[in-house]
Amino acid sequence: MDDMVPHGIGDVAPWRDWPSAVDGALEFLAEHVGWDVWVVTRVQGDRQVVLRAYPSAAAPPGTELPWEDSFCRQMLSGNAPRLATVTAAVPAYASRSTGPLDGVAAYVGVPLVTEDVKVFGTLCGIAFRAKPRSAARELPLVEMVARMLSTLLVSFQSRPPGPESFPPPVSLTPRNATHSFVTSA
């Protein structure tokens, strides 16, 4: 009985760990922003390693790309923008559209950072067809998702205190409710 989630809140329950949060964020971006593939990567030395992807078959965890050749490195180095609706129009991206990046027509990438503001990796989306210029309006949403993932990364790494450190949840029942969220006409 304890495993049951009350009706109406299961879709907003906290994620159990950072990988679950990443999966939820990538699925959200795919559903609400579009683009063909969304990935979260980690920069490890001279490699960029895929940690999670949506759809997952597009870039299985562990897929590697030389960091030197990546779009994300160009973005982080300031050689190219965070969002390019047409990668062929951005010299730093156009020169890297070979090998595993062949066919990437549009790119959006935002760094994921650690608590001490060092690069952990990236959140990025790619499309195999150019995007309209209006797609640039999506960048603030992608940046917000990246910031939330960075915050959750730090939070899950630091392992907050157990539940005994927090006040118990309050149940909004008629006896303790001070405000009605439902109004009648």
Please answer whether residues 48 and 104 qualify as being in contact, where contact means their C-beta atoms are separated by less than 8 angstroms. Answer: no
What mean pLDDT do residues 87-98 have?
A: 86
pLDDT tens digits for 66-76? 999 899 999 99
For residue 162, name the pLDDT band (cuts at 50, 70, 90). very low
Read off the pLDDT band of 57 (50, 70, 90). Answer: confident
Radius of gyration of the chain (CA): 20
What local confidence, expressed as pLDDT, does residue 91 receive?
94
- Report yes or no on whether pTM surpasses 0.75: yes
Give the model's pLDDT for residue 14: 83
pLDDT in tens, 3-56: 666 677 877 888 888 899 999 999 999 999 999 999 999 999 999 999 999 999
Rounded to whole angstroms, what are the CA distances from 85 to 5, 132, 135? 41, 6, 7
Res. 77 pLDDT band, cuts 50 70 90: very high
Residue linked to tokens 């910031």? 147
pLDDT of residue 106 exceeding 60: yes
Domain borders along the chain are 10-165
- How much is the pLDDT for 100? 59
Contacts of 22 (CB under 8 A, 6+ apart): 40, 51, 52, 149
Q: Tell me the DSSP string of 40-93.
A: EEEEETTEEEEEEEESGGGS-TT-EEEGGG-HHHHHHTTSS-SEES-GGGSHHH
Eight-class DSSP state of 3: T
What's the confidence (pLDDT) of residue 38? 97
Tell me 104's DSSP state.
-
d(CA 107, CA 139) in angstroms, rounded, equals 11
Q: Per residue in 79-91, pLDDT tens?
A: 999 999 999 999 9
Q: Exposed, middle or buried, 43 (CB in 10 Å: 0-12/13-18/19+)?
A: buried
For the domain spanning 10-165, the CATH number is: 3.30.450.40
Contact criterion met (CB below 8 Å) for 82 and 136: no
Average pLDDT, whole number, for the chain? Answer: 82
